[in-house]
Amino acid sequence: MTKADAVDYAKEGIRINCVAPGVIQTNLGIAIPREIKDRFLNPLIEQTPMGRVGRPEEVANCVGFLCSQLASFVTGASFAVSAS
């Protein structure tokens, strides 16, 4: 859908891109019970090359780049903001 919309709207000067965050540290994660973290979340984090969760500002940096003039020729792209 990202690529198709990018093609459709490029003529109007509209850039369409996708940001796909991985496991990101948020307040929602605080509410996850320890046993769920130990069983599901921690093994997922251990499989990532960086071995950690991402920070919200790391996702924001990607979005900021895409909104800037530095990305003026970027359209139809998908950015995985994750450590996998």
Which parts of the chain have pLDDT scores under 50?
Answer: none
Share of the chain above pLDDT 90, in %: 65
Are the beta carbons of 17 and 66 closer than 8 angstroms?
yes
Q: What predicted TM-score, i.e. pTM, was given to this entire model?
A: 0.83
pLDDT at 84: 67
> What is the model's pLDDT at position 30?
81
Give domain 2-81's CATH superfamily: NAD(P)-binding Rossmann-like Domain (3.40.50.720)
Contact 45, 51 (CB under 8 A): yes
The pLDDT score that the predictor gives to residue 74 is 98
C-beta atoms surrounding 74 within 10 Å: 15
